[in-house]
Amino acid sequence: MADPITGLAPNDIDPDAAWAAFIARDRHSDGRFVGAVRTTGIYCRPSCAARHPRREYVSFYRTPAEARAAGYRACLRCKPDEVARDRVAVAEAVRLIEAAEETFNLDQLAARVGYAPHHFHRLFKRATGVTPAAYARGLRARAAADALTREAKVSDAIYEAGYSAPSRFYESAAARLGMSPSLWQRGGAGVTIRWTVAATSLGPLLIAATDKGLCRVAFDEGEASLRRRFAQAEVVPGGAALADLAARVVALVESPDRNEDLPLDVRGTAFQEAVWQALRNIPAGETRSYAELAAVAGNPRAVRAAGTACGANHLAVVIPCHRVHRSDGSMGGYAYGVDRKVELLERERKG
């Protein structure tokens, strides 16, 4: 399997890409390779805060074990051997959460993987983009959505998804579904979606929202595509009810560096939502690779799934999937055209 950062075979490392990660002190590259310094005889993780050596003195190894076999010892400052331990612990915690019939609290989960609670809370969030509790809620909400399409009774679906009582479901998952459980069970029938097509400097923009928030923002689409996408909903012109929200979306297109807190009504798998949140956390004007998104979302090997999550994004610009590039640094594709992607990034950088 190719490496998610470099795209190379497991035994290969692109030294230029690895050196760039060291210069940037890229935390997302930690655990993927180490840099060994001939003048000191030590190896470090990419994010090590120590002063950088000269390029010609540094060699790169896939694992700490390879560096030790070559005669190097671990850096006492960045402790590169602990990175692997951190990743194993997070992976084990994810396995425990997904297999558990009842929810672990933080103390129990941290004890099972051998860490102090507060330290492990930070490790898990850094690796996955969400807290252990939020990850578990996402899994239960997804299970509830699946069960609601199968069970005749809403209460049966709630219990099947692992909730101890209906009240626990309505406290959390119901908001994630974006509509009431009974409406979701009927495929969204009865939900009203208001829409408009607004003129922007990048072309016509479809803006659609339920009473809860935006459910579709897309260039070059109109009412017909919206009705195909939401076949069982009542689709009506937005009018005054949508005017203010639509104006805020248009303003975001014209000045995408704005920090708009817009109401959203979208849902996805726990991994997709972690990717979408990671996209929203990228500073305006900056980009990340699909591999980096996958790592932040908790599965560094799921590079293609991170790309799929970007493709499943219903909200152009609002969830800024234009801030993603390929591992080789090129722009890559964009559902609404690479020219628009480049222009959005330029506007962010100028802002």
Active site residues: 44, 321
Strands 73-74 and 42-44 come out as parallel
How many Cα atoms are found within 13 Å in the side-chain-facing hemisphere of 181?
27
The rounded distance, in Å, linking the Cα atoms of 207 and 221 is 9
Cβ 144 vs Cβ 163: under 8 Å:
yes
DSSP state of 190: T
Residues 174-195 as b/e (b if ≥16 CB within 10 A, e otherwise) read bebbbbebebbbeebeebebbb
Angstrom distance (rounded) from CA 24 to CA 219: 35
Residue 119 C-alpha from the chain's centroid: 22
Residue with tokens 């470099």: 6
Token look-up 């908790």 returns: 298
CB 213 within 8 A of CB 179: no
What count of other Cβ atoms lies within 10 Å of the Cβ of residue 57?
A: 12
Distance, in Å, from the CA atom of 170 to the CA atom of 165, rounded to the nearest integer, reads 9
Strands (DSSP E) found in 147-275 = 192-198, 205-209, 214-219, 234-237
